[in-house]
Structure 1
Amino acid sequence: MNLRRPLLVVSLLAAAGLAVTPVAPVQAAPAQGADALGGNPVPGVCMLSREAVFANAKVGQAASRHLKQLADQAKSQLDTQRAPLQKDVQAFQQKAQSLSEAQRKQQGQALQQRMEAFQTQASELNDRIQLTRSKVMERIGQDAEPVVASAYKSHHCGLLLNRDSVLGGNVQNDLTAEVIQGLDRKITTMSFNLEPLPKQSGK
């Protein structure tokens, strides 16, 4: 059972920097009518919504909020650096006609280098947020695994299906709510910082 896919937090690189929006809570119980097909429960067949576990467990919600805070801080740093760069670009555009060709070329290249460095930094921060999100989801998945295993065993399951991909049927053995409750009893929050990017070989 692999619960380690990053499912909770989305990181976006916006024009002004970075913005992370928390994922809206997913129903812990199947939606109304999900079991409309009815039928008898299938012995040994159980279901679990990983998305609902990550979105509704307290630790997942806490991680989402904290990652958004880290992203907002990164965005604020980028905004602070972006403002003087924009000011210098505007000043260059205004005085460009009065400069010699050599001066325009020299100052233009210098501004271009600064812009490229800023864009690289913004991209690296976005990559760090994505990497951090993945690491956090892996940690939550590791904490959830024994909870899932316990519920799986107590319900005498022989097969665990992703509830979100099941079209319909008897949902008597849906472990999602039980796993959320078990995970909440085990852990409710976690602390972490933005992960550094791995060093590239040869650099």
Structure 2
Amino acid sequence: MKILATSALAIAAVLFAGSAQAQAQQPAAVQHGAPIAGVCALNLQGVFARSTAGQGLNTRLQELQQEIAGELAPYQQTIEAEDQALSGAGASLSDTERQQRGQALQQRFAEFQQLRQTRLQELEYTEFMQRRALGAAVDPIVAAVYQERGCSILLNRAEVFYLNPQMEISELVLQRLNQQLPSLPAFNRMPVPVQQQQ
């Protein structure tokens, strides 16, 4: 018990020392220069991630992933059970019967793989189309804010190390996106168009 208490104290001391060192390494508050007229920055990925529509999109995609997993699980379990049965049959099967069952199992596995691939492609296509819809909704908002703020250039905020906050338009874009598109219309998994499957 004493060893455990000593170990816990040692771990706490190491964690505290690491935390203190990390705090000591953080730079003091940065003093920004005057904002540069006409230069604006936008964290578009952050806007998508924090928007109510973007969060709803991610939640729905997770639900669709779970649906796919639920659909595929019985196929996989059946294949695994047949594989175990075939392996456990030993000498009780003739070579011909073993070969026939093995070929049937390979065929079922190939069908399972094809179904799995199809469902994953459908999920990827669905995500692509929904993210495109989200992008189409935010484009006019960004353009309007760009003009309102008198921007001459719009930088990707993720590429800029420091930035005067007055040049950042992300929060305004996020607020307007949440107002105009609180959520995407309900959607399900979408079949991939034939020309895109090739």
- Please classify the TM superposition score into its range, dividing by the shorter chain length: 0.7 to 0.9
Match for residue 165 of structure 1 among 151, 159, 162: 159
Structure 2 segments unaligned to the other structure (5+ residues): 1-25
* Contact 1:49-1:163 within 8 A present in 2 as well: yes
When residues 37 and 124 of structure 1 are mapped into structure 2, their CA distance, relative to the original with a 3 A threshold, is: farther
Distance 2:181 2:74 in 1: 36
Q: Shift of the alpha carbon at 1:103?
A: 1.5
Based on CA coordinates, which of the two structures has the bigger radius of gyration? 2
Q: Is structure 2 residue 189 aligned with structure 1 residue 194?
A: yes
Distance 1:54 1:38 in 2: 27
Partner of 1:76: 70
TM (norm. structure 1) is 0.78
Alignment of 1:33-182 (within 5 A): 36=30, 38-182=32-176
Aligned length: 170
- Cα RMSD of the aligned pairs, angstroms, is 2.0
Q: Which runs of 4+ in 1 moved over 3 A?
A: none
Q: Secondary structure at the match of 1:172?
A: helix
Distance 1:146 1:160 in 2: 14
Distance 2:62 2:34 in 1: 44
Identity over aligned pairs, percent? 31
What letter corresponds to residue 54 of structure 2 in structure 1? G
Moved more, 35-44 or 167-176: 35-44
More strand by share: 1
Q: Secondary structure at the match of 2:34?
A: coil
Q: Secondary structure at the match of 1:53?
A: helix
Q: Shift of the alpha carbon at 1:109?
A: 0.9
